[in-house]
Structure 1
Amino acid sequence: MRDIQYFLASSSIDPSQGDRIRKLADLRNLALEPLLQRRDQLKPSGEAAVVFLNDVALCPDDILELVLQRGRLDATMTCAMDWTYVGRDPTFYDVWIARSIHGDSFFDIPADGSWNSAWNLLWNADEDIRSRLHSKRPFPVFSCWNGAAVFSAGVVLEHGVRFRSSNTEKGECVQGEPQLFCKDLWFRGLGKVAVVPAVNLEYSVERGKQIKESKGFTVANVAGSRENEDDKIKWRPPPDMVKCMPTWDNQFWQLWNETLA
């Protein structure tokens, strides 16, 4: 296609050695560089979006639905649902990053690290949130990434949000760079973050096909649907507290804006 530029970059940064979160943040920020270096050439547009994909198996419809819902919901950021197969049945995967609008993990993990409650997603959320999850309608969250995320380009171009690691010297919770990214969105008044459960991803082609056969292909999940007023989200303020989970056996609650306020 004409007038489309492609940028391919490599890096020697190795997240498996040293400070993993800081290095992952550095890599994600490198991916933003072509956008930042050309900010003067870009026309401001609320429709401009950044798409981040992890090593998931996906279809074009998955990306398109996340982009569509970001605009339709007037969201700052939308995420998929990602899954893994640790047994016969699929398990929600990005539980270390994702936090509900109430600040809790998507399922309860005791100190022994057991995922036996993984089937009980958003177990302590309110009825509206749980209903949206089960009917595959978008629902608000405090943070997410879930294998694929789409956010407004203005977040980085106009508001200066970047990926980073925790400020542990000031006592900030040790957490992943996507969760910190969402935290910084909230701090800047941009906390319209939503999960789109019509989009379901896994990390291999075989299992990716399996999860879509189980949860539905995106194109089938949204077939026949038009702009539905029921899908509109009544955006909420951030929770007072968010669960900090550096490790499974070290979980505690912390102010959502700890070290920022």
Structure 2
Amino acid sequence: MSASLSSVLFTRGADRVYFAALLVCLFYIFCTSGPIPIPFRENVGSPGPLQSQDTVSADDNSTSVAEGFDLADVFKEEQASSKDVSDIFSAEPWVPPQVTDLDESRMEMVEPYITAIMDPKDKYFDRLQCPHPYKNRYKGLRRRRNLSSKFETGPKQYFFALNLYECAHVLPRLLGSVVEAIRLLRPEDCVLSIVGGRSTDGTTEILSRLRDEMEAMNVTYYFSTSDIDPLKQGNDRITELAKLRNLVLDPLIRQPELYDPDATVIFLNDVSICADDIMELVYQKEFQRAHMTCAMDWVDYGDTFYDSWISRSMTGDMFIEIPQDGSFEFKHNLFWNDPVTRKRFDMKLPIQVYSCWNGGAAFTAKPLLKDNVTFRASYKDECYMGEPTLFCKDFWTLGYGRIAIIPSVNVGYNDDESRHVKEKHGYASSTIFETEKVEERSTEIQWKVTPPELVKCEPDWVHPSWVQWDQASKDQEPFDWTHSGYFNADKGEENEGGLIFD
């Protein structure tokens, strides 16, 4: 009897052990499996992939949809295969370049800069004061993770890129805002890539010391230096600038397997920018389903739009009026021949353009990872243009034409300039509140799927012409512009707009 009872109890105990083991296995499978894919939602009347219609979007008079907008709806689960990039990039392992011109004697000046960059409350420097970004607005940009992925390193989602030279004065504000944006986006999902060099003001030393802080945050950090000098006598400025921009993108395009194929590149100039400016560029890229979003950069304390040589509207013309004699007497007259665009600009609403950069841009990495798009100089028989203009042109050629400026994002090239810029044009956060909450305006863009047939060619301000938007796209024959006389250091002088021409 006792033996039979013992046998029954043993059997029941074993069943409990087996059942408990089964529960453990099921829990393990649940935790280690990936998240349930969320299908890409194509909303009728919302910006989406290129369609056959001329425009896509909702009526501008409709109420804003930003309040209920969930950014998770626009992140695609369908990703490009590794084969898409296997034929483009070298099979040899990529070795990050090194810092070659570090001056140890300047290291003693570094710590106040590092403290300011890492602590937004630090008051050591008289930098531009910035508001806190709206966390609820931008929380959808932070990639969702399941229990297991919180402990894993997934593909990188955000790639911050900067070329920095002799700009220590702006680093506390610029990199302080970059760090704040990275914290909002999740450090593990971010890469910070910086190329410097030739600086004598401590820029190189500050950026070198920053590595310890970035690694402590779990941010992937690349910093190297280059001796490329776009203004060196005999160099073609645009060719050299393109080289520098491509160097800072090297960690992305040489290691595509480390990145989400739909990753976002945030490429910033040496500007005094706030974290809400950065976050709004990224947000509008996702909300509008844009391929690129750009800021607006200003000089003369916010009176003059700066990046006029680069930018073109959807009329194909420049943002500002430049008469035949090349003078800047009408430099305050933005979008003078495009009343619809001017109205949207005055209302601080996003606007589709042919090309832009304007101190900083957020753009999809797909054309870089799948189609080997890089920054470049003009081809033979192609209008001499800036490398960002040509970058946008190549986006259009491949069907990535949803390019927009975000008039709520306004920046200057030092803290004092940016203070005046913000006073004149507003902070991003306050403009967003006024436009979307108070005035309840729709911010959606009615996307055009075809570029302007003709684009203004301004190689030197005094020889303007109109050219086909896809000029030289078929042959794509490289050309040496060193002796062209266009914007070259060996033959140039500055005009009243601050740009060099022959």
1:250 aligns with 2:463: yes
Q: Per-residue displacement from partner, 1:124-160 (whole Å, max 9, x unpaired)?
A: 1142x22210011100000000011110111211222
- Structure 1 unmatched ranges of 5 or more: none
Paired letter, 2:344: R
State which drifts further: 188-197 or 108-117. Answer: 108-117
The partner residue of 2:368 within 147, 151, 156 is: 156
Q: Per-residue displacement from partner, 1:141-187 (whole Å, max 9, x unpaired)?
A: 000000111101112112221100001x3x10001000000000000
The partner residue of 2:350 within 138, 142, 154 is: 138
Aligned to 1:210: 420
Tell me if structure 1 keeps the 8 A contact 2:348–2:408. yes
Distance of aligned partners of 1:89 and 1:36 in 2 relative to their CA distance in 1, 3 Å threshold:
closer
Q: Distance between the aligned counterparts of 1:41 and 1:148, measured in 2?
A: 24
1:103 aligns with 2:316: yes
Give the match's secondary structure for 2:409. Answer: strand
Aligned to 1:174: 384
State which drifts further: 217-226 or 187-196. Answer: 217-226
Aligned to 1:59: 274
Tell me if structure 1 keeps the 8 A contact 2:455–2:468. yes
Paired letter, 1:16: L
Q: Give the TM-score, by structure 2 length.
A: 0.49
The partner residue of 1:93 within 306, 309, 321 is: 306
1:28 aligns with 2:245: yes
Aligned to 2:398: 188
Q: Distance between the aligned counterparts of 1:37 and 1:172, measured in 2?
A: 28
Between structure 1 and structure 2, the one with the greater Rg is 2
Runs (4+) of structure 1 exceeding 3 A deviation are: none
Q: CA deviation at 1:223?
A: 2.0
Name whichever structure is richer in strand by fraction.
1
Q: Give the TM-score, by structure 1 length.
A: 0.93
Q: Percent same amino acid among aligned pairs?
A: 44
Paired letter, 1:20: R
Q: CA deviation at 1:3?
A: 3.6
Tell me if structure 1 keeps the 8 A contact 2:317–2:456. yes
1:43 aligns with 2:247: no
Tell me if structure 1 keeps the 8 A contact 2:292–2:361. yes
Q: Per-residue displacement from partner, 1:194-226 (whole Å, max 9, x unpaired)?
A: 000000111111011111011101111112637
Q: How many matched pairs?
A: 253
Aligned to 2:411: 201
State which drifts further: 172-181 or 54-63. Answer: 54-63
Paired letter, 2:243: D
Q: CA deviation at 1:229?
A: 7.5
Give the match's secondary structure for 2:352. Answer: strand
Paired letter, 1:245: E
Paired letter, 1:24: L
- Structure 2 unmatched ranges of 5 or more: 1-186, 188-216, 475-502
Q: Per-residue displacement from partner, 1:24-78 (whole Å, max 9, x unpaired)?
A: 000000011111222113333x3x2111111211111111100000011100000
Q: Distance between the aligned counterparts of 2:468 and 2:254, measured in 1?
A: 35
Greater length-normalized contact order (CA 8 Å, ≥ 6 residues apart): 1
Tell me if structure 1 keeps the 8 A contact 2:312–2:318. yes
Q: Distance between the aligned counterparts of 2:388 and 2:260, measured in 1?
A: 27
Distance of aligned partners of 1:181 and 1:191 in 2 relative to their CA distance in 1, 3 Å threshold:
same
Q: CA deviation at 1:89?
A: 6.2
Q: CA deviation at 1:255?
A: 0.1
Q: Per-residue displacement from partner, 1:88-130 (whole Å, max 9, x unpaired)?
A: 7611111100000110001111233221212211011142x22
Q: Distance between the aligned counterparts of 1:166 and 1:234, measured in 2?
A: 30
Q: Distance between the aligned counterparts of 1:229 and 1:156, measured in 2?
A: 34
Q: Distance between the aligned counterparts of 2:219 and 2:410, measured in 1?
A: 28
Q: Distance between the aligned counterparts of 1:41 and 1:202, measured in 2?
A: 33
Tell me if structure 1 keeps the 8 A contact 2:302–2:417. no
